[in-house]
Amino acid sequence: MKAVGSYKSLAVNEPEAFLDVEVETPKATGRDLLVAVKAISVNPVDTKVRKRPHPDETLRILGWDAAGVVTEVGDDVTMFEVGDEVYYAGCITRPGSNSEYQLVDERIAAKKPETLNFAESAALPLTTITAWESLFERLGISKGGKDAGKSILMIGAAGGVGSIAIQLARKLANLNIIATASRKESSDWCIARGANHVINHYEDIPAQLDALGHPQVDYVLCLTNIAGYWKTITDVVKPQGKICTIVDFFEDGNLDLLKPKSATFAFEFMFTRSMHHTEDMDEINALLTETAAMIDSGELITTVAEVISPINAENIRKVHATIEEGRAIGKYVLEGWD
């Protein structure tokens, strides 16, 4: 089968950072599905793993977002059949989705939304899992409306994760969403996805919150640069408020700043369930299934910014370069094999 991979840890412009290769098609066993990958999307994690040291120089296939068709099932599979159209992010400790066929555990896959094509579906899984777990599990926000009207500050909200987090927070929790974005196009994107307000993360955040009449917020979801925003976040979170971040903390981060407010801090890592095979790993199937239903009923709109074809080394390189600039709006998707 075709795949795009690399044997070395290289900068985005290095010729060998992305190679079109032929590898053996894997076989489905146990609870694995073998999926014919029709579309993929690229996330910042791809660029981070690409740059990670890779001393053994074996072929590394990146990619943690896909939509495709099940072509084979392992003996223990109970939730899917050959021919099902699925979407999933996969597991960080297994080969990624930048390949014509990929194995994925059935518990972390779901049937794709019926009203979306493969490209639109591939934009969703990784960011949806992240946003869902951040909002409803780490921050403990009610999906049933008990927290309606409470405020959330989402920092870096026009990116892939924010694009779906805004929508879930609005549709399922009816929160008052204060998104941050620094450009007109990223700001408009957040409003179009349901943000109630947008403020600029490069200007004085407390002053802008004051001007909106929300000097303090119930929740903060920090989607970027927690180090740079930490002091501000601890200033603007309400007493007993909650903070979640999806990015790495910083060496000398001072958690003591939370003590006077008894505020809660949580990390979200969307690969936790898959990499540790937690008992509730099938919650990922459940949340992706619920999201697909919300898409099909028109409650959620696409997060796709651009679809590029075909899936090959050169096109994946281009998207990595865009993402590394840190100015992506929504999701970049690649579709079809040559």
Query: Which residues of the shown chain bind ligand NAP in the complex (CB under 6 A)?
Result: 43-45, 48, 127, 130, 155-156, 158-162, 180-183, 186, 201, 223-225, 246-247, 268-270, 323, 326-329
Q: Least distance to ligand NAP from the beta carbon of 237, Å?
A: 17
Q: Which one, 27 or 183, has the nearer CB to ligand NAP? A: 183
Q: Least distance to ligand NAP from the beta carbon of 271, Å?
A: 6
3-state DSSP assignment of residue 318: helix
Q: Least distance to ligand NAP from the beta carbon of 133, Å?
A: 8
Q: Least distance to ligand NAP from the beta carbon of 269, Å?
A: 4
Q: Least distance to ligand NAP from the beta carbon of 52, Å?
A: 12
Helix and strand numbers, DSSP H then E, in the chain: 10, 15
Q: Which one, 84 or 133, has the nearer CB to ligand NAP? A: 133
Q: Which one, 109 or 165, has the nearer CB to ligand NAP? A: 165
- Taking the C-alpha atoms of residue 175 and residue 185, their distance in angstroms, rounded to an integer, is 23
Q: Which residues contact 154 (CB under 8 A, 6 or more apart)?
A: 162, 165, 166, 169, 177, 178, 179, 180, 195, 220, 221, 223
CB-based contact 261:241 (threshold 8 Å) = yes
Q: Among 174, 173, 181, which residue's Cα sits nearest to residue 201?
A: 181
Q: Among 11, 101, 108, which residue's Cα sits nearest to residue 61?
A: 101
Name the residue whose CB lies closest to ligand NAP: 159
Residue at 175: amino acid letter = L
Q: Which one, 99 or 127, has the nearer CB to ligand NAP? A: 127
Q: Least distance to ligand NAP from the beta carbon of 200, Å?
A: 8
- Within 13 Å, how many C-alpha atoms sit on residue 281's CB side? 20
Q: Which one, 2 or 94, has the nearer CB to ligand NAP? A: 94
Q: Which one, 43 or 102, has the nearer CB to ligand NAP? A: 43
DSSP state of 172: T
- Within 13 Å, how many C-alpha atoms sit on residue 227's CB side? 5
